[in-house]
């Protein structure tokens, strides 16, 4: 097997994980979890989302979360998800230097998710790029492996989005299995086409684990040369606009697999597991992560 020596893990639990929880999570508890993740040496975190409170009430304290993390921890790579220019501007003013902007490969999912066509989403992305030129932008291509409404998504649509985003000067593209239906063969097929077509692009991957194939897909991606992956503590997550989508790959499960294979993540697994236990005790009692479920 041709595998990398090191892998970068981006923790998305405080955003992707928390947004799917209806019960309000106090800001102090959010900060406690984020602090635990940082103590485990996770230094690139998607900490919140600057969205309208009516859309996702859980994220209404976004600015406060960002301010408290910035004040308490120096040198962290903090990311916030934004759905539009308004959110991007608010994130920038709060101190965020990098945002995740989401456009779905599926037209139907994009309309359900952000109430706009893909053309309209790209127009707003261009607007963000022009009006906030110092902001680093990572484009998440949602439903890259399948749509909850339309089923299979043509690979050509994903490749076209790669083309359009790189022409805009987007810094990174993350291919997302939003509903967790990708299989290893499909993952390899898509990655070969993307890497061959856009060899200089900075790529990352975001797998959900709905059908239990998240780590299998990760292994295939590693063999294809991908070294940056997104995951969530305890396996939290699930797109609120994708019916039936289960959580992300659990960060502690991914770290365990990689470290067992001799791939360095730089993450302290015992400390990470302790944070997962806190999530289990104080936020969600039933987590999909394998290691934490044994605790």
Q: Do the Cβ atoms of 213 and 184 come closer than 8 Å?
A: yes
- The single residue listed with the structure tokens 């590693």 is 222
Give the residue numbers annotated as catalytic, written as ranges: 239
């Amino acid at each position: 097997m041709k595998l990398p020596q090191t892998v970068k893990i981006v923790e998305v639990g405080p955003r992707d994980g928390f947004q799917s929880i209806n019960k309000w999570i106090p800001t102090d508890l959010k900060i406690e979890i984020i602090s635990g993740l940082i103590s485990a040496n996770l230094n690139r975190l998607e900490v919140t989302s600057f969205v309208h409170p009516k859309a996702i009430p859980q994220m209404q304290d976004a600015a406060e979360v960002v301010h408290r993390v910035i004040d308490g921890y120096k040198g962290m790579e903090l990311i916030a998800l934004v759905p539009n220019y308004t959110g991007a501007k608010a994130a920038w003013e709060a101190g965020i230097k990098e945002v995740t902007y989401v456009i779905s490969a599926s037209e139907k999912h994009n309309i359900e998710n952000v109430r706009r066509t893909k053309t309209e989403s790209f127009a707003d992305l261009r607007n963000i790029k022009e009006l906030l030129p110092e902001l680093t932008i990572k484009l998440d291509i949602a439903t890259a492996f399948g749509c909850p409404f339309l089923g299979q998504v043509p690979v050509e649509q994903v490749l076209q989005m790669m083309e359009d985003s790189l022409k805009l000067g987007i810094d990174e593209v993350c291919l997302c299995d939003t509903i967790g239906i990708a299989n290893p063969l499909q993952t390899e097929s898509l990655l070969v086409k993307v890497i061959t077509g856009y060899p200089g692009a900075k790529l990352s991957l975001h797998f959900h684990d709905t059908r239990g194939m998240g780590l299998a897909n990760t292994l295939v991606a590693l063999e294809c040369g991908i070294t940056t992956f997104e995951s969530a503590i305890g396996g939290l997550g699930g797109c609120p606009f994708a019916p039936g989508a289960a959580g992300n790959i659990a960060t502690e499960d991914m770290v365990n697999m990689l470290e067992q294979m001799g791939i360095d993540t730089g993450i302290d697994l015992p400390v990470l597991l302790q944070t997962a236990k806190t999530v289990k005790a104080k936020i969600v009692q039933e987590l999909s992560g394998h290691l934490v479920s044994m605790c």
